[in-house]
Structure 1
Amino acid sequence: MTVLEPFGARLRRAMDARGPLCVGIDPHASLLTEWGLNDDVAGLERFSRTVVEAVADRVAVLKPQSAFFERFGSRGVAVLEKTVQEARAAGALVVTDAKRGDIGSTMAGYAEAFLHKDSPLFSDALTVSPYLGYGSLSPAVALARESGTGLFVLALTSNPEGGEVQHAVRPDGRNVGATILGHLAAENEGEEPMGSFGAVVGATLGDLSSYDLAINGPLLAPGVGAQGATPADLPKVFGAAVRNVVPNVSRGVLRHGPDIRALRDSADRFAQEIRAALAGV
């Protein structure tokens, strides 16, 4: 299997060159309607190709949400394959947002679907859930190391329901979210310029100073834009770790479609606001 340069190194270079913005590709039914598209495979394909054409050559990361493709069955998955391939060909790194989580050979199968170089869905990184125990991710960690890809592990998510698991306190006094961050720091130890194993940490969570976010890896931060967080909030939320934050914006950019120039202008504005917010850090 062809081995890429490690994802962390490729992501660091892309963030330095293009800024850290990640744009989500979330073709849910309401956005297809807003764009004047039918809620069918043709609308899905038009939506996804438009986003790729508009921003894949200027943002560091594109993040297609697998669920909105899977709902159309095999034809929708075929569109996801094309979307991932075309986005990577245009220069963006692709994080497929599938939040897979299972054990043993099943987890290995999920990893092979998205992280094996010969898979039609081959992506630069995959979102995964550690809530069957962090060790259950071992097959995905191993394949990511082998293939030069990465993982973004759910740690401190922005949805209110997440707290009942992520804030639960273990017998050692640490909560679950902090424990996940600790595992990721161990995965990334000694990696330069940045490790390939990141955490998903919501930008809407406010003061996170009680958590050690210095995991030497990227922090994928959903919640900027429509969910209420702003680029100016990032230094306050992430503190000294803000240089490794990959802010994710979905509806804040996508609502400007299907006009390609409007999509580009919106992505450029967010990128400029993020640069300005980080300039003094």
Structure 2
Amino acid sequence: MIDRLLEKIIKFENPTVVGLDPTYVMIPDMIKKEMLETYGKTPKAAAEMFIKFNKGIIDGICDIAPAVKPQIAMYEQYGLEGLRAYLETIDYAKKKGLIIIGDIKRGDIASTAAAYAGHIAGISIEDEYFDLWKEDAVTLNPYLGFDGIEPFIKPCKELDKGLFILVKTSNPSSGELQDLKVENLDKTFYEQTADLVSKWGELAMGKKGYSKIGAVVGATYKEQGEDLRKRLPHTFFLVPGYGAQGGKGKDLKGFFDKDGLGCIINSSRGIIAAYKKDSRYNEMNFADAARESAKEMKIDLQGAI
């Protein structure tokens, strides 16, 4: 996965991943009206809204951005219909050639972790194999240590999948735990997590110098991101916090390696809800607004590389 992602970033000259995190209020009224009239005030109507909206966004950005990152919680809240929308969104994005990062943030141990690993490992029923989720990579919470990570490593190696493990997240309260000093190690909790991610990463290296086990590093923490790049020369970064959360391209120069690679930057509402903020557009051309916003982000990030 990591080698394919690098190839697409180089081809597109764009280290952007579009977060497909739709909310009900984000959906254009014309789509809401159509689905409510067809399916009533039901979870199925909401799911169909998300599918149509996401397809428009994907059509708008598929030749600009190399990857998309659907956040599963946005879909799970609508139950089985929401999960159907998640899966149909992924299937459509795959057909458009996009890399899929499933933002699932799982974190458990033993048989539960092995079951969660089915997101990238697939499942077998007797002699039949199914890749139900079709994600190329997923996000994980490392709080339970290696026991929560190990079941995911085999599909990374054998099926060319990937992981992005939370290290230094972009939210304001992340420091309540992540910045705590581990006194006997003389480093912070997030630095210790980073060192573990680097160690685990050696178990699933790609062919282009980066591990298939990456790290989530928030754009809102410029100095920490720069330090982590030095600390983790073979770890690819998934970087949330750009745009709506305050991260800017100029703040991210130190997140990239010497070749202008090494990370992919996420933008969610800044792209998919661009039509609400840009007076040049309205709900009829929400996909055009997303495309233009993705182009602007590409230019901004190129200036940081």
Q: How many residues end up aligned between the 2 structures? A: 272
Bigger drift between 235-244 and 53-62 goes to 235-244
Q: Percent identity?
A: 28
Segments ≥4 residues shifted beyond 6 Å:
none
Q: Which runs of 5+ in 2 are unaligned?
A: 34-44, 123-128, 276-282
Relative to structure 1, is the Cα distance of residues 154 and 84 closer, same or farther in structure 2, using a 3 angstrom cutoff?
A: same
Residue type of the alignment partner of 1:203:
A
- What residue is the counterpart of 2:293 in the other structure? 266
Q: Which segments of 5 or more consecutive residues in structure 1 lack a partner in the other structure?
A: 1-6
Partners of 2:30 and 2:192 lie apart in 1 by 42
**Who is 1:199 aligned against?**
215
Give a deviation string over 1:7-36, Cα, whole Å, max 9, x none. Answer: 111111011111111110011223126786
Would the alpha carbon gap of residues 224 and 251 (structure 1) be closer, same or farther in structure 2, given more than 3 Å must change? same
1:243 pairs, out of 261, 272, 290, with 261
Alpha-carbon shift at residue 74 of structure 1 (Å): 0.7
The answer on 1:126 being equivalent to 2:138 is yes
Deviations 1:137-186 (A, max 9, x none): 11012222221100000000011222122122223222221122112222
Contact 1:51/1:263 (<8 A) preserved: yes
Partner SS for 1:207: helix
The code of the aligned residue for 1:29 comes to Y
- What is the one-letter code of the residue matched to 2:221? L
Given that residues 8 and 217 in structure 1 are in contact (C-alpha distance below 8 angstroms), is that contact kept between their aligned partners in structure 2?
Answer: no
1:248 is paired with a residue of what secondary structure? strand
Instruction: Write the distance in 2 (CA, Å) between the matches of 1:115 and 1:14.
Output: 23
Q: Radius of gyration: which is bigger?
A: 2
Deviation at 1:246, TM superposition (A): 0.6
Q: Confirm or deny: 8 A CA contact 1:115 1:126 kept in the other structure.
A: no
Counterpart of 1:11 in structure 2 is 5
What is the distance in 1 between the residues matched to 2:77 and 2:260? 35
CA deviations on 1:211-238 (whole Å, 9 max, x unpaired) are 4442412101111111111112111466
Name 1:3's counterpart in structure 2: none
CA contact under 8 A between 1:84 and 1:94: conserved in structure 2? yes
Larger mean CA deviation between 180-189 and 73-82 belongs to 180-189
Kept after mapping to 2: 8 A contact 1:94/1:124 = yes
TM-score normalised per structure 2? 0.82
For the Cα contact (< 8 Å) 1:222–1:247, is it kept in 2? yes
Matched, 1:31 2:26: yes
Amino acid at match of 1:51: I
AA matched with 1:205: Y
CA contact (8 A) 1:100 1:110 kept: yes
